[in-house]
């Protein structure tokens, strides 16, 4: 009798649950298997003030023949989050300000991989923006571009090429995605425990 009830429970509960999970995983994975698009993700880091005359006294620094009493670091992390390589990618970095005294003092790239990353070419250079062209970004290639400016100004990133999906990832969204994954894993774990407890009690009964 217990064996028949065990078989009934397996057929009615456990097997449909496994099949349902399999279908959900298949539906989630199917678009990734057949729809391969060029995808570029980026995140803009918080502004960092390295030197401020108001807090450090009468201090002035000269960088590239520009004297300044305020040094601000603004950076953006950019990576190929898709499954296709991206070639000859133009990216424009724009500082949203109308200040006539705003200046970009220096620009640097930190790349991953560090060597043989590909050529980076500066195409446009004006007071409020820079435009670079990146010869090749393979999947999972990434870089951080670091600007040193003499004033605080919001940084925006623009990129457009054929078939490119540009996504901005905000710092809190990274934690939210991780938290959702952890909650789903925890919920699945608790569900399995209750099913096993119920299965044991049912077979005993």
Q: Which two tokens stand for residue 182?
A: 């952890």
Q: Is the link from the previous residue into 134 a cis peptide, with omega within 30 of 0?
A: no
Domain coordinates of the chain in residue numbers?
Answer: 38-169, 170-205
Length of the chain: 205
CATH numeric code, 38-169:
2.60.40.1170
pLDDT tens, the chain, 205 aa long: 555 655 555 555 555 566 556 655 555 555 555 556 789 999 999 999 887 666 655 666 778 778 888 899 999 999 999 999 999 999 999 999 999 999 999 999 999 999 999 999 999 999 999 999 999 999 999 999 999 999 999 999 999 998 899 999 987 655 555 555 555 555 555 555 555 555 555 555 5
Phi and psi (nearest 5°) for 127?
Answer: -60, -40
Q: Which two tokens stand for residue 106?
A: 């220096």
């Amino acid at each position: 009798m217990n064996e028949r009830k065990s078989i009934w429970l397996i057929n009615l509960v456990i097997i449909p649950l496994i099949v349902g999970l399999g279908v959900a995983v298949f539906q989630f994975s199917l678009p990734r298997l057949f729809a391969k698009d060029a995808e570029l993700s980026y995140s803009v880091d918080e502004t960092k003030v390295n030197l401020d005359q108001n807090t450090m006294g009468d201090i002035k620094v000269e960088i590239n023949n520009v004297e300044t009493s305020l040094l601000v670091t603004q950076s953006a992390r950019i990576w190929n989050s898709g499954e296709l390589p991206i070639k000859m990618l133009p990216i424009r970095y724009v500082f949203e300000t109308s200040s006539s005294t705003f200046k970009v003092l220096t620009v640097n790239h930190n790349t991953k991989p560090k060597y043989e990353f590909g050529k980076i070419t500066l195409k446009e250079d004006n007071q409020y923006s820079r435009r670079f062209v990146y010869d090749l970004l393979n999947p999972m290639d990434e870089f951080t571009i670091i600007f040193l400016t003499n004033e605080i100004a919001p940084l925006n990133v623009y990129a457009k090429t054929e078939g490119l999906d540009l996504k901005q990832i905000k710092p809190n969204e990274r934690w939210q995605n991780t938290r959702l994954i952890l909650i789903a894993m925890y919920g699945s774990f608790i569900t399995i425990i209750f099913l096993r407890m119920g299965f044991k009690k049912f077979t005993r009964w």
